[in-house]
Amino acid sequence: MIIPVILAGGSGTRLWPLSRKHYPKQLLKLFGDTTMLQQTLLRLQGLPNLAPPIVVCNEEHRFMVAEQLHEIGQKKSSIILEPIARNTAPALALAAIHAQTLGDNPTLLVLSADHMIRDVDVFQAAVIDAIQAAQLGHLATFGVQPTCPETGYGYIKTQRGLGASKDAFFPVSEFVEKPDLATAEKYLAEGCYYWNSGMFVFKTEIFLKDLKNQSPEVVSAAELAKVSAVEDLDFIRVDREAFSHAPNISIDYALMEKSRNVVCVPLDAGWSDVGDWKSFGDLSVKDEAGNSLIGDTIDIGSTNTLVFSKDKLVATLGVNNLMIINTPDAVLIADKSQAQQVKSVITQIEKQKRSEHLQHREIYRPWGCYDAIDTGDRYQVNRIRVKPGGSLSLQVHHHRAEHWIVVKGTALVQKGDESVLLSENESTYIPVGTKHRLSNPGKIPLEIVEVQSGPYLEDDDVIRYEDSYGRS
């Protein structure tokens, strides 16, 4: 049995302003009509003995992850919620401990939810090789064949030189940190170095045994957290207090760099971790001048420039080597040479106690989403979309009243002791202090315009009495 383990807890900060803490890159549709998380699972179709996946994700992302898995038919997945971020070693330990309950020493295929792989056939062939290595008792990692002296990746040094036979896998000598340019050029010339992909294959029992030998505190914290786990809807909630004692450490530091049992499976399948806007541009379609123009754009005379805009027209005129990323509430303009420095912008946003690094103007909820389209003194206007069958919590506000106007679909409104069904162009008023709930009983999305009015309009002015999604 092969169980995919998908690590989906990253934040993708270098892809700001599109990727945000509450809506990171793995949940975005960056390439095509499916998200990166969905593409990670879809590219596994056709592999033999494949079981439903284990997905480890941030608690804040749980409803989006569950919905995206359901959209591609993955309804038997195990979704483990990390109560606190503790890096990849504790996350993998949790997944492996859970995998022991699903089969007899299953093989784990560990993947990140935010990687791009162009050649699926080559990737699947490498997975088969890695499974064979795991059957022999090895910890297999995928080493990406380098195409340039990249300084943004860590490297794997292998016991394979230039001109060596193309074996399915070979021993790893060491893992090395991200190099400077001169060192990266040296690695490329020597021919025994590969980019560290952060993807692995191993047998569950061998992995846990080796991890316990090298980093016992990781396994013990995960075991304590898992023994008190509870199932909540589609999710597995582990004990927060126990998990908080796990060291904040990557699987490379905790195990792979220490073990003498690691082998490398070469991978030349058009892999990228899409770690910044430069790599995103490299993967995008370009015009004859080297420009990647995505969304509502007009360009005259520019070269080697990336423009990304979905909600408004962005016009460029004679610029070179720029990245221009437009979202409804933030715009990034940077030279491509600064792609790795986008994190410094987030640092400044945090220092100014702003919120643009946390979430988009459009906020996703388990029932749908809302977009704050206008805000002023004592009022806010939201566009609300409720999925078919979705329902907001039964709630009350002490400082604001709400006026709802249906623009699409049918709304079932509970207001005090009465319930009313509203169709398009009909409206209702919710006075301050009135218990109310909005639901969509129809087969198409419900869209309403909400006008809030009052002296205090923040999200924390809510008391929930009933909720279909387990929120307090």
Structural domain spans, the chain:
2-272, 277-351, 362-466
Predicted confidence at residue 150, as pLDDT, reads 85
Q: In the predicted model, is pLDDT for residue 161 greater than 50? A: no
pLDDT over 90 percentage in the chain: 78
> CATH homologous superfamily for 362-466?
Jelly Rolls (2.60.120.10)
Predicted confidence at residue 319, as pLDDT, reads 97
Rounded CA separation 438/424 (Å): 15
Query: What's the Rg (C-alpha) of the chain?
Result: 25
Q: In the predicted model, is pLDDT for residue 235 greater than 80? A: yes
Average pLDDT of the residues in 111-126: 96
Q: In the predicted model, is pLDDT for residue 151 greater than 90? A: no
Collapsing DSSP to helix, strand or coil, 64 comes out as helix
Rounded CA separation 310/295 (Å): 5
Rounded CA separation 472/455 (Å): 24
pLDDT over 70 percentage in the chain: 98
Rounded CA separation 328/111 (Å): 32
Q: In the predicted model, is pLDDT for residue 471 greater than 80? A: no
Q: In the predicted model, is pLDDT for residue 407 greater than 50? A: yes
Which of 79 and 167 is assigned the larger pLDDT? 79
CATH architecture of 2-272: Alpha-Beta Complex (3.90)
CATH topology match: 2-272 vs 362-466: no
Predicted confidence at residue 163, as pLDDT, reads 40
Q: In the predicted model, is pLDDT for residue 308 greater than 60? A: yes
Predicted confidence at residue 116, as pLDDT, reads 95
Predicted confidence at residue 78, as pLDDT, reads 94
The per-residue pLDDT for range 187-223, each reduced to its tens digit, is 888 888 999 999 999 999 999 999 999 999 999 999 9
Residue 146 φ then ψ, to 5°: -70, 140
- Residue pair 356/347 in contact (Cβ under 8 Å)? The answer is no
Predicted confidence at residue 162, as pLDDT, reads 40
The per-residue pLDDT for range 372-382, each reduced to its tens digit, is 899 999 999 99
Q: In the predicted model, is pLDDT for residue 453 greater than 60? A: yes
Note the pTM of the prediction, 2 decimals.
0.86
Q: In the predicted model, is pLDDT for residue 399 greater than 90? A: yes
Confidence of residue 306 (pLDDT cuts 50, 70, 90): very high
Collapsing DSSP to helix, strand or coil, 82 comes out as strand
Q: Cis omega (within 30 of 0) on the bond before 17?
A: yes
| Dmax (CA) of the chain | 79
At residue 334, what is the residue type? A
Rounded CA separation 472/463 (Å): 9
Predicted confidence at residue 393, as pLDDT, reads 93
What number of other Cβ atoms are within 10 A of residue 421's Cβ? 12
- Residue pair 430/454 in contact (Cβ under 8 Å)? The answer is no
